[in-house]
């Protein structure tokens, strides 16, 4: 029979991952959290995590992966400008200004990078990019492309079959293979040298 005060193997392993320790008392062992850990949108302690029915251990890596991916994207600002210029048929990528990383919008599965177009009276467009660590790109390469194809297909279907439904304008999309589609009427162009990942 297990003692109520003795931590289970899972609690011990989880506590180690959370940098928690076990302080021994005379007849029992208690879990004493030393610090909280960072999730994407909040911090969490071991005592809160153990009561959740989610895989918190899996989520603990998202914050670092997000930071690494955003840094990688930011270093490719010129590529983002060129991509937007291509899809908008602009003469020069210099007309595009990529917003500072602090202005980027992200949800659970995408990051939206605001790009201001100087030749369009400073109007902004959003470059929407799937988060590879959230769509399982590393476990199953091609998941990001499938997500983009499905979403672009949904936009096209809604535009054709439900024009009364307000949706943002889709100027184009690109895949990791280098294939791009602009204005949903332009034939596929092969730009195999473009790689956002």
Q: How far apart are CA 70 and CA 41, in angstroms?
A: 15
* Average confidence (pLDDT) over 6-15: 52
pTM for the full predicted model: 0.71
Q: 153 pLDDT exceeds 50?
A: yes
Beta strand 110-117 with 96-98 is antiparallel
* Average confidence (pLDDT) over 118-125: 92
Q: 25 pLDDT exceeds 70?
A: no
Question: pLDDT tens for residues 47-82?
Answer: 787 787 777 777 788 888 999 999 999 999 999 999
Q: How far apart are CA 154 and CA 115, in angstroms?
A: 23
* Average confidence (pLDDT) over 147-166: 92
Q: How far apart are CA 76 and CA 115, in angstroms?
A: 13
Share of the chain above pLDDT 90, in %: 47
Average pLDDT along the chain: 80
Structure tokens at 143: 């998941």
pLDDT of residue 182: 85
Structure tokens at 79: 């590529």
Q: Residue 165: CB partners within 8 Å, gap ≥ 6?
A: 158
């Amino acid at each position: 029979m297990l003692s109520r005060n003795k931590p289970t193997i899972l609690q011990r392993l989880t506590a180690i991952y959370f940098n928690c320790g076990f302080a021994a008392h005379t007849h029992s062992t208690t879990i004493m959290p030393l610090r909280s850990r960072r999730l994407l949108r909040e911090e969490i302690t071991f005592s809160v995590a153990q009561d959740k029915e989610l895989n918190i251990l899996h989520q603990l890596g998202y914050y670092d992966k997000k930071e690494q991916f955003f840094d990688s994207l930011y270093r490719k600002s010129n590529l983002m400008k060129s991509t937007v210029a291509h899809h908008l048929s602009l003469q020069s990528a210099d007309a595009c200004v990529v917003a500072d990383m602090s202005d980027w919008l992200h949800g659970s599965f995408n990051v939206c990078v605001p790009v201001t177009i100087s030749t369009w009276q400073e109007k902004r467009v959003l470059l929407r990019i799937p988060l590879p660590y959230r769509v399982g790109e590393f476990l199953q390469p091609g998941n990001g492309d499938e997500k983009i194809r499905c979403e672009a297909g949904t936009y096209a279907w809604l535009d054709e079959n439900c024009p009364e439904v307000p949706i943002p304008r889709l100027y184009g999309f690109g895949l990791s293979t280098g294939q791009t589609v602009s204005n949903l009427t332009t034939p596929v162009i092969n730009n195999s040298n473009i790689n956002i990942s």
